[in-house]
């Protein structure tokens, strides 16, 4: 699959908006409580001694009503930011963004972790049991490192058709926007078979083949049609056994030689 290092600046902007809205709401609540206390005090005085003019009570009531409306308006604004965050990034990451003391957010912010957007091939799905994948900058996965499942994503970038998921990995000097290769297990059941490195594979008529050494100067070409592509080669659980001598260097020469002799046989009358 393909992975991309996510830019967290949109998350940073949402967190800033959330904190600003929360601070404004807290101030408004203080003002509202103060206005409510003043209104209660004036009503109590007016009821007990009738020495407080009705207009003072009415003014205090209007002040409280205004403060209450402000608080309700800011509460709606705060909820809108939370809803936008949830809609954009899902429950798990929204919690990272909005929580005051989120350790996961601090790790992203300090570049200790990187957030990855992993896109699966079309018609592929992530097994529910998969919690760990491997990612690498190169196509061979020579320095692959672990990445951990976070959540499904709700991001749709361009014409992406495959399923997308968020994973995180301990930062390996990854830069925002960097494209990576990802390898995902297709299930929990282990497979028995052999690994065929790319160096041994030759192609003919659109099909992958390898050569096995049977004895001195005698080789057999075998099909990899039933093999599964994987990092650096193919995995196959039929046609081969551990201990088979695989031709790593010179396979292309053997293919050419094989077909050269076939042509000679056809012309030999």
- Closest CA relative to residue 241, chosen from 269, 214, 204, 261: 214
| Secondary structure (3-state) at 53 | coil
pLDDT at 13: 95
List, for residues 88-137, the tens digit of each pLDDT value: 999 999 999 999 889 999 999 998 999 999 998 888 888 888 889 999 88
Please indicate, yes or no, whether the overall pTM of this predicted structure exceeds 0.75: no
What per-residue confidence (pLDDT) applies to 97? 95
Among residues 194, 204, 206, which one has the least CA distance to residue 230?
Answer: 194
Is 268's pLDDT higher than 70? no
> In this structure, are residues 64 and 36 in contact, taking their beta carbons and an 8 Å threshold?
yes
Residue 19 — pLDDT band, cuts 50, 70, 90? very high
**If we measure between CA atoms, which residue out of 85, 174, 147, 160 comes closest to residue 119?**
160
pLDDT at position 267: 53
User: Cβ of 227: how many Cβ atoms within 10 Å?
Assistant: 22
Round to whole Å and give the CA distance between 96 and 102: 6
């Amino acid at each position: 699959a393909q992975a991309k290092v996510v830019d967290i600046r949109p998350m940073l902007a949402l967190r800033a908006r959330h904190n600003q809205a929360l601070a404004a709401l807290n101030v408004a609540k203080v003002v509202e409580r103060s206005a409510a206390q003043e209104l209660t005090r004036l009503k109590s005085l007016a009821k007990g001694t009738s020495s407080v003019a009705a207009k003072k009570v009415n003014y205090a009531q209007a002040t409280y009503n205004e403060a209450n409306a402000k608080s309700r308006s800011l509460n709606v604004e705060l909820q809108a930011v939370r809803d936008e965050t949830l809609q954009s990034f899902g429950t798990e990451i929204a919690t990272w963004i909005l929580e005051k003391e989120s350790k996961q957010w601090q790790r992203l912010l300090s570049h200790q972790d990187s957030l990855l957007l992993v896109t699966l091939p079309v018609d592929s799905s992530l097994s529910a049991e998969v919690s760990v994948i491997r990612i690498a900058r190169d196509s061979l996965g020579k320095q692959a490192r672990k990445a951990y499942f976070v959540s499904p994503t709700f991001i749709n970038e361009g014409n992406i058709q495959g399923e997308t998921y968020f994973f995180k990995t301990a930062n390996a000097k990854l830069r925002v926007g960097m494209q990576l290769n990802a390898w995902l297990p297709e299930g929990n059941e282990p497979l028995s078979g052999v690994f065929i490195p790319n160096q041994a594979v030759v192609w003919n008529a659109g099909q992958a083949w390898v050569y096995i050494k049977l004895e001195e100067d005698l080789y057999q070409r075998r099909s990899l049609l039933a093999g599964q592509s994987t990092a650096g080669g193919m995995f196959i659980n039929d046609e081969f056994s551990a201990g088979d001598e695989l031709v790593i260097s010179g396979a292309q020469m053997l293919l050419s030689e094989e077909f050269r002799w076939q042509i000679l046989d056809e012309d030999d009358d």
